[in-house]
Amino acid sequence: MEAVELWIVVPAAVGSAAGFGLAGALQHTTMAQEPTRGSMRLGLLRDLIGRPLWMASIGATIVASALQLLALSRGPVAMVQPLLVTGLLFALFFRSSFRRRMPPRWALLGAGLCVVGLAAFLAISRPPGGAATVAPGETLLMGVVLGAALLACLGIALWRPGQVRSLALALGGGLLYGTSATIAKVATGIFLDGGIVALLLSWPLYAMAVLGPGGFLMTQHAYRAHRYLAPAQAVITLTDPLISVTLGIVWLHERLRSSPLELAGQVLGLITVAAGVWLLAHHSASEAGANAENEPETASESQPETAPS
């Protein structure tokens, strides 16, 4: 069992959440400025490369990912990943600052619920470290389940345009992000024990090289698939920690406090976080709808587009 260094884990995880929140706000702003075109296109990233705000979001993502790896190297997945839920709060405040206005009371209430829920969950669960290595059979099973879930998300996204497509892609992106974070925990353990050579000879590094960019690609298409961007971001923000915490418990054998009272407190904390995220997403979607009343419908909402260009 690893020692948990809270003085490193908490600031690094919160800094990572801030970086991801900034990246999301920049990407949302860039997508709003994009010409109306289909969402399920292989050329979407090609259109975005070179746009200053989108390139700045890539820099923010890189910094946030580095801080996330630092946090995972010093603390368990079940502690680090729930802190990343605060990324939705940071995204809200960054978006408000871009518009030079204060967040409304809806947003402040949602932010408060998220903070209180996270504080309660972490204070009650106090997750210790887990295993640094995993069994090959468990890894293979995880890969099969992940592949089936991703195929389901992609199938729904290709079948239904508009918001359903956006949420399906967001779910797939959050699934990939959460799995990649759990594998990153294994990779940091390999690096700390055996150095860079051991890491280069291990599978987690190459799995991260596929899952991380794959999740990023799916989230970009999710943001583009529907004008209401906040619900997709809320799905990503919640799915990422839920998947990684689940994998941390099942795959890495991390353990949360398990007395009935402690479990009830943890569930109540997570419900409070979910309520806060819902309020933030509801407010942002309402605001997006009000701003878009006089705008033409996007192509993704008016007709299905499944052929990539």
- Summarize pLDDT for 122-161 with one digit per residue, the tens: 778 766 555 556 777 888 888 999 999 999 999 999 888 7
Is pLDDT above 70 for 252?
Answer: yes
Determine the average pLDDT of the residues in 240-264. 81
Top mean pLDDT of 85-89, 92-96, 206-210 is at 206-210
* Dihedral angle of Cα 185, 59, 213, 232, to the nearest 10 degrees: 100
- Residue 301 is predicted with a pLDDT of 41
For helices 163-200 and 136-159, angle between their N-to-C axes, nearest 10 degrees:
150
Top mean pLDDT of 215-219, 225-229, 299-303 is at 215-219
How far the first Cα of the chain sits from its last, in Å, is 49
What does pLDDT average to over the chain?
A: 79
User: Three-state SS for 166?
Assistant: helix
Is pLDDT above 80 for 99?
Answer: no
Closest to 134 measured CA to CA, from 143, 125, 122, 147: 143
- Residue 40 is predicted with a pLDDT of 58
- Summarize pLDDT for 227-246 with one digit per residue, the tens: 655 667 778 877 888 888 88
Is pLDDT above 50 for 86?
Answer: yes
- Residue 151 is predicted with a pLDDT of 95
Confidence at 296, pLDDT banded by 50, 70, 90: very low
Alpha-carbon gap, residue 262 to 4, rounded angstroms: 20
CB-based contact 171:239 (threshold 8 Å)? yes
- Residue 224 is predicted with a pLDDT of 77
Residues 6+ apart with CB under 8 A from 20: 60, 61, 64, 84, 87, 90, 91
Share of the chain above pLDDT 70, in %: 80
Determine the average pLDDT of the residues in 274-298. 60
The CA R_g of the chain, rounded to the nearest whole Å, is 19
Top mean pLDDT of 38-52, 94-108, 212-226 is at 212-226
| E strands in the chain | none
- Residue 97 is predicted with a pLDDT of 84
State which amino acid sits at residue 217. Answer: L
Is pLDDT above 70 for 47?
Answer: yes
Confidence at 173, pLDDT banded by 50, 70, 90: very high
Reading the block at residue 46, the tokens are 């090609």
Alpha-carbon gap, residue 22 to 61, rounded angstroms: 8
